[in-house]
Amino acid sequence: MQFFDLSQPLFDDCPNCHVHPAVRLPITADHPTDGWRMEEFHMASHTGTHLDAPLHKIAGGKSIDQMPLESFCGKCRILDLTHLPAAHPIGPAELQGALAGEIVLLNTSWGHRRAKTDEWIHRSPYLAPDGAQWIVDHGIRAVGIDHFSIGGTGPDNTPTHEILLGNGVWVIEELCFRDGWREFAEGAEFMALPLLLPGFSGSPSRAVLFKP
Amino acid sequence: MQFFDLSQPLFDDCPNCHVHPAVRLPITADHPTDGWRMEEFHMASHTGTHLDAPLHKIAGGKSIDQMPLESFCGKCRILDLTHLPAAHPIGPAELQGALAGEIVLLNTSWGHRRAKTDEWIHRSPYLAPDGAQWIVDHGIRAVGIDHFSIGGTGPDNTPTHEILLGNGVWVIEELCFRDGWREFAEGAEFMALPLLLPGFSGSPSRAVLFKP
């Protein structure tokens, strides 16, 4: 198996969703004093590259462990939306060509601007509610984006999440499309397995393209 | 792709290594009050099903992000050691048959006894230093076990870890071999990708058997 990484790194105080606590990943034991290295996680479950299960926005929705692992692996289509201006609402026009059963990944280039700035937090292109409805209506399996929120941070965020998650379309956020993704993607599939977290609304994940 | 899960669940106050802080996974926002569900992680990096990189025990050793993703995926051999008594040191005799390049998984049945008991913590069968040396000498790629410590909790633990990690053999701990693993394993491979954690000595992982 060959892999191409689509994940953002997790590190102490890394950029994250502004309404979550700051990410704390301290080293708690180290060489040579302790004879080993150990770290701790102190962060929200929706940090870095992560999956949203329906429960994240839908009361009584499925938690991440209630979805078969096969859900998170399959054919994908990466849409090149790197030409879109800041804060652009992605609608049906930008989604044309995606097919039923695919995992659709929105490459806005915003993964390369990841920083604790107002621009990165609040001005990303995002999936608008009419785009989310198009995804549902066309039988798309899942949708991902290279920003921490598929729906941005404005008033469209809640309806976009609710349309997707309320219709069983899972979401992956904080992807990063590094140079070379296009060459690797030819014949590749997508995979992003969650940790085993019973009852959780989502999970950090290592998102990859892979080839047998 | 089809999957068979070999992971232990992470949950609040779940059994873990006795020298690590207790696992805290609180729900920090919930329906209907907040309109969404969110959780937090407060735990050591080597919690639940997790990978050990050389840096965990070797000063200056590779961190988990310095190992290619391809390292963590490939042919495996699951050794049925469920007949072994408690606290049995696993040596060359129990490892016979494993081949160079394989990921060798030690099924001691201890994954089914996971509980905060002295028995689970301190009396697991474990890989002895002579077993670790056999793994290295035979070109085994990696070794896993269904307990939080490949080397147990006694004086053999440090040398066992150092022999493996000092020779580039990565380790996966806290697997669980549920009913059905044997039937699925026929023709399957193993995969356990780490999260993207620059500089970390290890990572939680979703460990699976898979078939194309």
Domains by residue range for chain B, with CATH? 2-9+45-211 (3.50.30.50)
Residue B27's DSSP bridge partners are B39
> Which of B46, B56, B147, B161 is labelled catalytic?
B56
Cα separation, A154 vs A126, in Å, equals 10
Residue A194's DSSP bridge partners are A205
CB–CB contact B25 A195 (8 Å): no
- What's the confidence (pLDDT) of residue A148? 98
Cα separation, B80 vs B130, in Å, equals 19
- What's the confidence (pLDDT) of residue A8? 98
Joined tokens for residue B21: 């802080």
Which 3 state secondary structure label does DSSP give A165? helix
CB–CB contact A48 B195 (8 Å): yes
- What's the confidence (pLDDT) of residue A169? 98
Residue that is written with structure tokens 């499925």 in the block? A62
- CB under 8 Å to B27, separation ≥6 — which residues? B37, B38, B39
- What's the confidence (pLDDT) of residue B91? 98
Q: Which of B38, B189, B194 sits opposite A206 (nearest CB)?
A: B194
A189: chain B residues, CB-CB within 8 Å:
1
- What's the confidence (pLDDT) of residue B87? 98
Nearest to A80, CA basis, from A65, A60, A96 = A96
Low-confidence ranges of chain A (pLDDT < 50): none
> Which of A42, A46, A50, A56 is labelled catalytic?
A56
Q: Quick one: closest CA in B to A10, which residue?
A: B197
A40: chain B residues, CB-CB within 8 Å:
21, 42-45
- What's the confidence (pLDDT) of residue A147? 98
CB–CB contact B195 A46 (8 Å): no
A73: chain B residues, CB-CB within 8 Å:
1, 3
Q: Which of A28, A43, A193 sits opposite B206 (nearest CB)?
A: A193
For residues B77 and B104, the answer to whether their CB atoms sit within 8 Å is yes
Which 3 state secondary structure label does DSSP give B111? helix
Q: Which of A21, A32, A56 sits opposite B36 (nearest CB)?
A: A56
Nearest to B9, CA basis, from B103, B111, B125 = B111
Q: Which of B32, B43, B193 sits opposite A59 (nearest CB)?
A: B32
- What's the confidence (pLDDT) of residue A12? 98
Cα separation, A76 vs A107, in Å, equals 12
| Torsion from C-alpha of B35, A163, A176, B9, nearest 10 degrees | 60
Query: How many angstroms away from the CA of A170 is the closest CA of chain B?
Result: 15
pTM of the predicted structure, to 2 decimals: 0.98
Q: Quick one: closest CA in B to A56, which residue?
A: B37
- What's the confidence (pLDDT) of residue B92? 98
Mutation target for A interface from B37, B57, B75, B76: give the one with most A CBs within 10 A. Answer: B37
Query: How many angstroms away from the CA of A69 is the closest CA of chain B?
Result: 7
Mean pLDDT calculated for residue range B157-161: 98
Mean pLDDT calculated for residue range B53-60: 98
- What's the confidence (pLDDT) of residue A29? 98
Q: Which of B8, B41, B69 sits opposite A208 (nearest CB)?
A: B69
B16: chain A residues, CB-CB within 8 Å:
none
CB–CB contact B196 A32 (8 Å): no
- What's the confidence (pLDDT) of residue A185? 97
A70: chain B residues, CB-CB within 8 Å:
1-3
- What's the confidence (pLDDT) of residue B32? 96
CB–CB contact B70 A3 (8 Å): yes
- Based on the residue annotation, tell me whether B56 is a catalytic residue of this protein: yes
Average pLDDT of chain A, as a whole number:
98
- What's the confidence (pLDDT) of residue A46? 98
- CB under 8 Å to A93, separation ≥6 — which residues? none
Size of interface A-B (CB pairs under 8 A): 150
- What's the confidence (pLDDT) of residue A57? 98
Q: What's the number of CA atoms in the CB half-sphere (13 Å) around residue B87?
A: 7
pLDDT digits (tens, 9 = 90+) for B82-109: 999 999 999 999 999 999 999 999 999 9
- What's the confidence (pLDDT) of residue A2? 98
A158: chain B residues, CB-CB within 8 Å:
35
- CB under 8 Å to B26, separation ≥6 — which residues? B12, B39, B40, B42
A196: chain B residues, CB-CB within 8 Å:
5, 7-10, 48-49, 206
